[in-house]
Amino acid sequence: MADGPSRRQATLFRLRAQLRKKRESLADQFDFKMYLIILFKDPKKVPALFEIAEVVPVMTNNYEESILRGVKEEAYSLESSLELLEKDVVQFHAPRYQSMRKDVIGCTQEMDFFLWPRNDIESLKCLLFSKWKGDPDDGYKPLKADFDYNHVDYERQLVRLLGRRDKTGLIINNPAQSMFMFVDRQHLQTSKSKAIVFKLSSLCLYLPQDQLTHWGPGTVDELLAPYLH
């Protein structure tokens, strides 16, 4: 008699085979929640927490051209990018969010976060949760994946984009290539000077499809509690 893990793997194998026939992905069988956390260098400063308004899972590598353009600009290596593009990867797109600060009446808005130049951010972090569709008794569980982007890594890539003429559609990613940020390059005019600033306009998380059922312990409320003050 097969043990629990073996039965689960066999079930997932059959499900994937059925989905391939229907030209669907395993991600279509889940509902998702995503949260963006901005952590600051000052430990006394409350993290900025945002709930993504709608998580859009996509199986195809729609941003292959942008990723390979990043290779050309030496933002990351060709070998690592080709490896990523060849994987059976799910993209989780996040264009809109809502602040979860208790002292702010939040409303859903297009992502427009001032990212650089500033020296108070330590890192950006995303938490991704999922549950089976159509199961009212199934709660959201955290996926066991790291989506972290340290300020040192994204600042280095943004500096390389200073000379670009493009104003929108610029893309950078963390070293693990699990978290991609789409940024807009804008000119900020003051009475004394003119500066270039970068704003976060959209997020995209990358997760191999075979990790969609790798859940960790805890609930949404439990894992967000440390960031709510």
Convert the pLDDT of each residue in 39-92 to its tens digit. Answer: 999 999 999 999 999 898 887 544 455 555 555 555 555 555 555 555 678 899
Give CA–CA dist 178/176, Å, rounded.
Answer: 5
The candidate with the shortest Cα–Cα distance to 171, out of 50, 37, 97, 72, is 72
Look up the pTM and report it.
0.78
137 vs 141, residue with greater confidence: 141
Give CA–CA dist 150/170, Å, rounded.
Answer: 18
- The average pLDDT across 133-140 equals 83
Q: Running DSSP on this structure, what letter comes out for residue 226?
A: G
Cα atoms in the Cβ-side hemisphere of radius 13 Å centred on 72: 7
**Which tens digits make up the pLDDT trace of 183-207?**
999 887 777 778 889 999 999 999 9
Contact status, residue 148 vs residue 121, Cβ threshold 8 Å: no
The pLDDT confidence band at residue 34, using thresholds 50, 70 and 90, is very high
Q: Running DSSP on this structure, what letter comes out for residue 133?
A: T
- The average pLDDT across 144-172 equals 91
Q: What confidence score (pLDDT) does residue 37 get?
A: 96
